[in-house]
Amino acid sequence: MSLGDFLQRATSRWMKEGGPEDDIILTSRIRVARNLQGMPFPILQTDSHAHQVLESIHTAVQHPSMQKLGNFEWINCKDLSAIDRQVFVEKHLISPDLAESYKHGAVVLREDEVISIMINEEDHLRIQVIMPGFRLQDAWQLASSVDDALEQNVMYAFHDRFGYLTACPTNVGTGIRASVMMHLPGLVLSGNIQRLLNAVSHVGLAVRGIYGEGTESYGNLFQVSNQITLGETEEEIIGNLSSVVQQLIDHERAARKMLLQQNREALEDRICRSFGILAYARRMDSKETLERLSDVRLGIDLGILKGVSAGILKELMVMTQPAFLQKYFHEDLSPGERDVRRAALIRERLRLDDSEVR
């Protein structure tokens, strides 16, 4: 199978399409945590309880109210190979926790993978909507529609005072986690990133790596999300996050402008060197890949590099991950072998853009 064919089949909509402010905001995501009334949280479930949850939600997903929202596929995690589960993690469709504790887990995917619903993870239900660009409000409206459709057929655990009950106390209340994935090379290169991220944490937001809590930030990619779910409405949570994110966008644009004005040659040299390494290297590890891709994407956004797709950062930050590489090459690969195949995949991806330009 050619890489072009594989890209069309394997990439999610958020990896292929653009959206508002997408030179800085790669994705907007809404995740909603829910539990079924009268059932133990997954951490306390017996096999029987887990099976009951799966049956209840499976019935709810098949209801016409859900079918109006698109075509969905039910996938039992135990039926997936370890590599396939990890591919789902790398595509941000399931969490690492669900991939590891998969025995009673499932995921429901809409065909474009904008909507994914994890079942029997930390909570009975984790409804996720992920969209390209700065589209938090659109993502929330769609997640809310899924939530409403499911609630027509299952009873949620809800307290009049505390709101939706969840396994983790930090999710009690609305149960909503809103986040954006931001590409902030200007702030990193100008030395202003830490000051701004400290300010963000002081207003009740969290900053994490590309795979969420406990992961490092590589390639100047930062996930910014709300921390508080209790005592605020969903609209307030999204509004507060959007306001702070807009300020970060403004600071990032100003930093990029300053870098161009103060030392354009050095910036162009950095960007072109990274492009050259990606185009010709024979070995690339994951960390360097993201760092070089970040430079290339910055060069595209600033008009320094021509003929390269702006979506290359989103595509390759997923496709160069370990499981995706092994899926594409149909081989179990050692870390060293992955570095060689990663470099080959990147070279092939860049040639696709080059052939389209010609």
* Separate counts of helices (H) and strands (E) for the chain: 14, 10
Nearest CA among 182, 165, 151 for reference residue 29: 182
- β-sheet bridge partners, residue 27: 132, 181
Instruction: Give the tokens for residue 222.
Output: 């930062």
φ/ψ of 166, rounded to 5, equals -135, 165
Annotated binding residues, as ranges?
A: 27-31, 92, 126, 177-181, 208-213
Contact 133, 314 (CB under 8 A): no
Instruction: Give the tokens for residue 87.
Output: 């591919």
Nearest CA among 243, 264, 309, 268 for reference residue 22: 309
The residues near 158 (Cβ < 8 Å, ≥ 6 apart) are 37, 164, 165
Helix, strand and coil percent figures for the chain, each rounded to 5: 50, 15, 30
Quote the CA–CA distance of 30 and 135 in Å, as a whole number.
10
φ/ψ of 226, rounded to 5, equals -75, 155
Quote the CA–CA distance of 76 and 104 in Å, as a whole number.
8
The residues near 82 (Cβ < 8 Å, ≥ 6 apart) are none
Contact 44, 175 (CB under 8 A): no
Quote the CA–CA distance of 36 and 349 in Å, as a whole number.
45
Annotated binding residues for ATP, as ranges?
A: 27-31, 92, 126, 177-181, 208-213
Quote the CA–CA distance of 105 and 54 in Å, as a whole number.
8
